[in-house]
Amino acid sequence: MMKDDKVVQLLEKIKNLGEIEKDMEQLIRIIKETGIDDESKFLQNFELLGKLFTQFSEQRDQIILEMAKEEYTDLKIQDNEIRKNLTKIREEKRFLPDLCHEKFVDLLNKWDKEKKEKVECSKNYLQDTIFEHLDELREEFELDFSIVDYYDRKLRVGPIITSENVPNDLRNYFFEIREAYVFGLDRSCVSLCRVLLDMSLFDKLIKNAHYLKKLNELKTQKERSEFCLKDNINFAKEFMLIDNELNGLAHQVRIQANKILHIKNKNKNSREDSTLDIIKNTIKIIERLYSQY
């Protein structure tokens, strides 16, 4: 089945949740209007209400599982009803059937006071669905995820070692950089390295009188914020915070990162090697930057 067909079917299922919700709303209105005078009719409607809730739960489970298995990164949705229902699922908000079920369970627990164990009504339906289908999802995950690649990358990057002089708020980035790399998220990893390098340079520059003077010469906050990584590398060299070697490495990191982030190099192995170089060079620059003080 083509992915476009799967998307269409998924959207239809999401929209159908709203239809089931409307059917339940109408049935609840009928139950309220007719009351319990006609016991046979009341039980018939109540049984139908239960079937609708089961149908709703099963449909939502299918949607959650499909969204967990497939990579739907870009869903073009025009229908407001579908948007509303999808937002509810993602934010784990209650639908009318959930509220009815919770009310019913509450009444059941109050009615049967002799029960030692109360009936539970979980409100975490996303996790419930995942746990219920964990084996199926695990198989799906193992098909898509290479354990060999994971450990190969983990060994290549190794433990990230930094000196005690590096501030904690900067050191916290290293864990995310390492995890992004071992999971093959090269662009995320490179973006974090760029940010970390820029933050480290700025942390040193902002304490430099010459840099502060340059900042004060700029009139507006907008002009001040226009300093980019390239500027900060050049300023760090100009104000002797880094030597020629680190200046060259910093610009190398910047240029390699631009190539990866702007998708000009489509060679996956080359990109992976460059990402590892960027990590190691970023660490080297930061280590040297903070070892001076």
pLDDT along the chain (293 residues), means of 10: 72 88 84 74 80 85 79 73 84 75 60 50 62 72 77 80 79 88 91 93 88 73 68 90 93 91 62 84 90 63
At residue 1, the pLDDT reads: 46
Determine the distance from the C-alpha atom of residue 44 to the mean position of all C-alpha atoms in its chain, rounded to a whole number: 44
Is 45 in contact with 27 (CB distance < 8 Å)? yes
pLDDT for the residue numbered 212: 81
Residues 7 and 87 in one domain: yes
Q: What is the DSSP letter of 93?
A: P
Q: How far is Cα 236 from Cα 201, in angstroms, rounded to an integer?
A: 7
pLDDT score at 114: 54
Which of 95, 127, 142 corresponds to the end of one domain?
142
Q: Are residue 14 and residue 131 in the same domain, yes or no?
A: yes
Clarify whether residues 157 and 131 are in a common domain: no
Task: Count other Cβ atoms within 10 Å, centred on residue 185.
Answer: 16
CA angle 249, 269, 184 (to 5 degrees): 85
How far apart CA 98 and CA 88 sit, in angstroms, is 12
Q: Indicate whether 156 and 124 sit together in one domain.
A: no
Same domain flag for 15 and 137 = yes
Do both 89 and 217 map to the same domain? no
Pick from 142, 160, 193: which residue ends a domain? 142
**Same domain? 116 vs 223:** no
111 shares its domain with 156: no
Tell me the residue range of the domain where 82 lies: 3-142
pLDDT at residue 123 in the model: 56
- Identify whether residues 15 and 95 lie together within a single domain: yes
Say how far residue 177 (Cα) sits from the centre of its chain.
15
What pLDDT sits at residue 282?
93
Which of these three, 142, 162, 191, is where a domain ends?
142
How many structural domains does the chain have? 2
Quick one: 137 and 152 in the same domain?
no
Cβ neighbours, 10 Å, residue 51: 9
- Chain position carrying tokens 């974090």: 192
How far is 208 from 205, CA to CA, in rounded Å? 5
Do 40 and 158 share a structural domain?
no
d(CA 33, CA 129): 35
pLDDT of residue 55: 87
Report pLDDT for 252: 93
Residues 127 and 154 in one domain: no
Which pTM was predicted?
A: 0.62
